[in-house]
Structure 1
Amino acid sequence: MNDKTFNLVKTMTELQATSGFENNVRDVMREKMTPNVDEVVQDGLGGIFGIRNNADTNAPKIMTAAHMDEVGFMLAAINDNGLFSVRPLGGWNPFVVSSQRFTLTTRSGQTYPIISSSVSPHLLRGDNHQNATPQINDILFDGGFESAAEAREFGIAPGDYIVPDVETIKTANGKNIISKAWDNRYGCTAVLETLGKLKDTTLPNTLFAGANVQEEVGLRGTPGAVNMLKPDLFFAVDCSAANDLETTKGTFGHLGEGTLIRIYDPRLVTLPRLKEFLLDTASDNNIPYQYFVSQGGTDAGAAQTENNGIPSSVIGVCARYIHTHQTMFSIRDYEAAKELLEKTILGLDRSTVDTIIKG
């Protein structure tokens, strides 16, 4: 990975934007997409897409979509003692939330450092004071304010959002990166780099490339975006959980083994012809890949049921410890996924798309 790409990864992962509050990422996406596309459009919920038009009115319409939001929290109430009760935005393991650094952003855009409380084992629920699983609602957030009145004086109010505060770094061997929010600033970074690389290339399709909103709270941004753009095929560009800590036998998602070819998740069964196209594209271009069966969904699952059905799939990577402050991911996997995204776009002409859709 060259310095330019790493600096983009660092920029995108250190941005703070949770579900419904994606403006920080959207602003950067707009800035970096604009020179490489014919126009930039935004849907009603805030998803943003660069469009590469095609002179051929019969050219197929291809949509590649990351999502801008990361998991975070919303401030639900300011307690009398100045601490904050919150509600999660996205899926959090409660064991990883306590005693971490976050940033709180007010409605005016002011930011403040805060930390999550650590619940004493003596206070955890359970028989005979045995450790019990903490609940998100048990964990308070602390900005050092002495009272609710003092917090309000700083412009803090219910509805403000809270996001992890983390620096992006490389591992000692230079093969991996540690950051927050690779789910899914991976997709945002890959889309931006691919648009830049294809800027002066004639495409066999009309391309919509960008990112949705509110994926982490139920794939909410996708329906509006695909109904606005009406693509023939949809590709989510997303990050999934690695499962390789104890064994790679019988598990899915192994760091360093290539991009993910998703064949199943609870909301998506990749259509056979679309799966075969991705497999052929990876094989023909010597792109390392691994099959992936997921326990969670992506925007592809939401896209495929819109507009009378849109064949959809995922161009993905895996990462360890997603939905936490510290995620680890492979540079090699990113490079493989980015190449698959590029070659997929270049391979989808009208004949190929018709074959995928109609057989």
Structure 2
Amino acid sequence: MELFDKVKALTEIQATSGFEGPVRDYLKKRMVELGYTPEFDGLGGIFVTKTSKVENAPRIMVAAHMDEVGFMVSAIKSDGTLRVVPLGGWNPLVVSGQRFTLFTRTGQKIPVVTGGLPPHLLRGTGATPQMPALSDIVFDAAFEDAAEAVQYGVAQGDVIIPETETILTANGKNVMSKAWDNRYGCLMILELLEFLADKELPVTLIVGANVQEEVGLRGAKVSTTKFKPELFFAVDCSPASDTFGDDNGQLGQGTTLRFFDPGHIMLPGLKNFLLNTAETAKVKTQVYMAKGGTDAGAAHLANEGIPSTTIGVVARYIHSHQTIFNLDDFSQAQNFLRAIVTHLNADQVAQIKNY
């Protein structure tokens, strides 16, 4: 498959926090095809272990996360419309006027749209449009009433997930889709596993994907406890701000060196290793000072403390139906990750952990 076809396949899968099954199934199938044996943590994270033949080899974890932002049905109103709670961070301004799919407990897929009050109905009322609360946004499947919604299997606790088509931009350099945060990481780990399939390494690699990152970095706490890595590399997508007059995170400028976010500071030893590796591998990088977090924030506090970082890319308008991201950025990040895992050995890990 060409890169775009792989991107399209993963980004069009609908799977939100706590309901990552469709992505997990996709990853499992591909891992098995590549000759690996997946195993799972107690919350549903999926990982394979590529064991080194070197005695006492350091254990290194590379982890994506499978979930995308979505919603859960909190109420069925008498008129048949629905109200929700968010699964992950949503700006209310990007929610209205969009298509979603509701997944019932029995696996039915029900089309849903979000509605807002049209301007025609505001004329002459003196009302000024307000920022809606997420809990007030109308999710509408066109049921006649609550009884009909229930008849079709809709219930509180059902999940509602964005539905969009993944397409190339006119210049062929970028993609528009939902869920690049973090199907980017899912594709990264699959490409890495394919690259490493016939290679021996002086480190033991644990490669896979966590659950429930978007609702509090939950899966990383579980997987690091189970697999006990000495270093942790999250692979995750962050918001670009280049269209808002900020040069912190620009499309087409390569993979990110995430020195800081509100929950994590990169340790000096790891910073030196990444800078040296990027220079040696001639990878295009950009410094990124983040306003949000990744699984690295949970992993670095796990067990007795795990030096961690994020191998990332940026995308415009994440946590919405229409994200824009750059294909070369993905290739740069993939080359960086390959260089990282093939440069690591016991001495290098010891230097990284020497702060």
Instruction: Answer yes or no: same fold by TM over 0.5.
Output: yes
| Shorter-normalised TM range | over 0.9
State the Cα distance separating 1:197 from its structure 2 match.
1.2
Q: State the AA in 1 paired with 2:274.
A: L
Partner residue in 1 for 2:315: 319
The worse-fitting range, judged by mean Cα deviation, of 52-61 and 237-246 is 52-61
Q: Secondary structure at the match of 2:38?
A: strand
Please list, as runs of the form range in 1=range in 2, the aligned pairs for 1:1-359 lying within 5 A after superposition. Answer: 3-36=1-34, 38-120=36-118, 129-248=127-246, 251-358=247-354
State the Cα distance separating 1:50 from its structure 2 match.
1.4
State the Cα distance separating 1:303 from its structure 2 match.
0.3
State the Cα distance separating 1:120 from its structure 2 match.
4.2
TM-score by length of 2: 0.96
Partners of 2:70 and 2:88 within 8 A in 1: yes
Q: State the AA in 1 paired with 2:315.
A: A
CA distance change for structure 1 residues 37 and 279 in 2, over 3 Å: closer, same or farther? farther
CA distance change for structure 1 residues 213 and 123 in 2, over 3 Å: closer, same or farther? farther
Partners of 2:269 and 2:354 within 8 A in 1: no
Partners of 1:37 and 1:52 within 8 A in 2: no
Q: Secondary structure at the match of 2:47?
A: strand
Distance 1:23 1:77 in 2: 24
Superposed CA deviations along residues 323-351 of structure 1, whole A, max 9, x for unmatched, are: 00000000110000011111111111111
RMSD: 1.5
| Percent identity for Structure 1 against Structure 2 | 52
Q: Secondary structure at the match of 1:314?
A: strand
Distance 1:10 1:138 in 2: 32
The worse-fitting range, judged by mean Cα deviation, of 325-334 and 49-58 is 49-58
Distance 2:6 2:287 in 1: 28
Superposed CA deviations along residues 26-48 of structure 1, whole A, max 9, x for unmatched, are: 00011111233542110001111
Q: State the AA in 2 paired with 1:59.
A: A
Structure 1, unaligned runs of 5 or more:
none
Distance 1:335 1:133 in 2: 38
Distance 1:123 1:313 in 2: 50
Q: State the AA in 1 paired with 2:305.
A: G
Partners of 1:45 and 1:213 within 8 A in 2: yes
Structure 2, unaligned runs of 5 or more:
none
State the Cα distance separating 1:128 from its structure 2 match.
5.2
Q: Secondary structure at the match of 1:59?
A: coil
Q: Secondary structure at the match of 1:221?
A: helix
Distance 1:123 1:280 in 2: 60
Distance 2:173 2:28 in 1: 30
Partners of 1:19 and 1:69 within 8 A in 2: yes
Partners of 2:53 and 2:202 within 8 A in 1: no
Q: State the AA in 1 paired with 2:143.
A: F
State the Cα distance separating 1:56 from its structure 2 match.
2.2
TM-score by length of 1: 0.95
Partners of 2:63 and 2:209 within 8 A in 1: yes
Partners of 1:78 and 1:85 within 8 A in 2: yes
State the Cα distance separating 1:154 from its structure 2 match.
1.0
State the Cα distance separating 1:309 from its structure 2 match.
0.1
Superposed CA deviations along residues 239-273 of structure 1, whole A, max 9, x for unmatched, are: 0000101435xx31000000000000000100011
Distance 2:12 2:244 in 1: 29
Superposed CA deviations along residues 259-308 of structure 1, whole A, max 9, x for unmatched, are: 00000000010001101111111111111000000000000000000111
State the Cα distance separating 1:119 from its structure 2 match.
3.0
Distance 2:156 2:65 in 1: 25
Q: State the AA in 2 paired with 1:68.
A: M
Partners of 1:258 and 1:290 within 8 A in 2: yes
Number of aligned positions between the proteins: 353
